[in-house]
Amino acid sequence: MINVLLEVIFPLQEPLREPLLILECIVAFLCLEWVFIFQLRVRRMKRRIRKLQEKAYIWLFLGFFIMDLLFIFGDFHAPTQEIRATLLNAGYFSQILGALIFIFLMEREQIVFFKKYLFTFIFLGILIIFIYFFFFARELTQIMTFPFWLVFISFFILYMRHLSSKPLVKKEYKKLKIDSFKFFSGFLLMCLGFSFTIDFVLNNVGIWMRLIGDALQILGIIMISILFITIPSLAEYEWQDKIESVFIMERSGACLYNRFFGNNHNSMDEDLVSSAIGSIKFMLQELTNKDGTSIIQKKGTIAIIHPGTYTMGIIFCKQKLDSLQILLRNFVEKIEVVYHNILPTWTGDMSVFKYIKEIAYEIFT
């Protein structure tokens, strides 16, 4: 049997020209929408690392938007095949360049796998090979989309594993696994959908396959968007930079444990500790009858207070983070579980609480 190529003629013509144009404009619009969304988030943020994370997404979606736009002009409006090929290759270049900047900004603040900037160098190599193909073997440029998707999906798999390795994520963000599954499913749909739009597939299967490819890309982008909405901010994993001190107080006001973080931990004196405890006792008087975590902000310092049955935990910090509230709650609950036989009838012997230091090390390290 002889395979007959169903050569697709460009610019694309009826009857599928208008449906394809509408779908591909939707893909481009969704990418541009996320560019604006992340740009607005950047303007509202003060933390540098959070800005870098959001800026990384801006470059990623901007690269995809420019690629989609160039593809639309190339496939629907280019007067010659030479101009179309140039526009398509410029689209591939913007896609790879946007992903390169995205990965560089993400790796700038954390090591995702083994060595810092490992994926940045891999993507830089892909970009260099693509540029070589562009000038000397233009017919092979589409091949570079396959290693692009392979490396890009691998990066996100390792990135999600990096986040899921955090004890905080394991305890409090169990939905992350479900969201991760949706995210990877979305990326696979985008990859599969994009592969359905390349010339090789269209010439062998037919132009109708491009409709399926566009629909899969739209569905994939929507699924990926779920991750951007639900994933915890990187700032939540940098609580060490924001925490100043932690105290465990007995309900009557006795300090059972205290620890100072940062530059203060080697230079604490009794006067400073006594002053902090005095402030805590004053706050406890105001919160004696309140249940649940309370937050007090005054003069640039934030106090997070979580009451237990017999004790009360207090964290002084520079920024209100969900992660600090979670850690404090876990700290108080674990102390009360360990000392549930001692706390109800405690007579003032501080030596029995020497193991709180080990619990604190487990929670705050």
Domain ranges of the chain: 17-237, 239-364
Predicted local distance difference test score (pLDDT) of residue 290: 57
The architecture in CATH of the region 239-364 reads: 2-Layer Sandwich (3.30)
Residue bearing the bigger pLDDT, 17 or 144: 17
How far is residue 112's CA from residue 104's CA, in Å, rounded to a whole number?
11
Q: How far is CA 253 from the centre of its chain?
A: 41
Tokens of 139: 């017919």
The answer to whether residues 245 and 315 touch, using CB atoms and an 8 Å cutoff, is yes
User: Which of 173-182, 229-238, 249-258, 291-300 ranks highest by mean pLDDT?
Assistant: 249-258
Task: Give the number of residues written for the chain.
Answer: 365
- Residue 186: pLDDT band (50, 70, 90) is confident
Is it true that domain 17-237 has CATH number 3.90.220? no
Predicted local distance difference test score (pLDDT) of residue 238: 63
Task: Specify the DSSP element, H or E, that contains 301.
Answer: strand 301-307
The answer to whether residues 112 and 106 touch, using CB atoms and an 8 Å cutoff, is yes
Residue 296, classed as helix, strand or coil, is: strand
- Residue 200: pLDDT band (50, 70, 90) is confident
Cα 301 to Cα 163, 306, 319, distances in angstroms: 28, 17, 8
Predicted local distance difference test score (pLDDT) of residue 37: 82
The DSSP string of 201-228 is: HHHHH-THHHHHHHHHHHHHHHHHHHHH
Would the pLDDT of 70 be above 90? yes
How far is residue 151's CA from residue 187's CA, in Å, rounded to a whole number?
12
Would the pLDDT of 1 be above 50? no
Among 96-110, 120-134, 148-162, which is the least confidently predicted range?
148-162
Q: What's the CA angle centered on 297, arms 292 and 299, to 5 degrees?
A: 160
What mean pLDDT is reported for the chain? Answer: 79
Residue bearing the bigger pLDDT, 105 or 112: 105
Predicted local distance difference test score (pLDDT) of residue 69: 94
Predicted local distance difference test score (pLDDT) of residue 16: 86
Q: Is the peptide bond before 232 cis (omega within 30 degrees of 0)?
A: no
The answer to whether residues 321 and 242 touch, using CB atoms and an 8 Å cutoff, is yes
Closest CA to 328 of 243, 255, 260: 243
- Residue 149: pLDDT band (50, 70, 90) is confident
Predicted local distance difference test score (pLDDT) of residue 4: 47
User: Which of 8-12, 130-134, 165-169, 198-202 ranks highest by mean pLDDT?
Assistant: 130-134
How far is residue 334's CA from residue 356's CA, in Å, rounded to a whole number?
9
Q: What is the pLDDT of residues 295-354, one digit of tens each?
A: 877 766 788 888 888 888 888 888 777 778 888 988 999 999 999 899 988 888 888 998
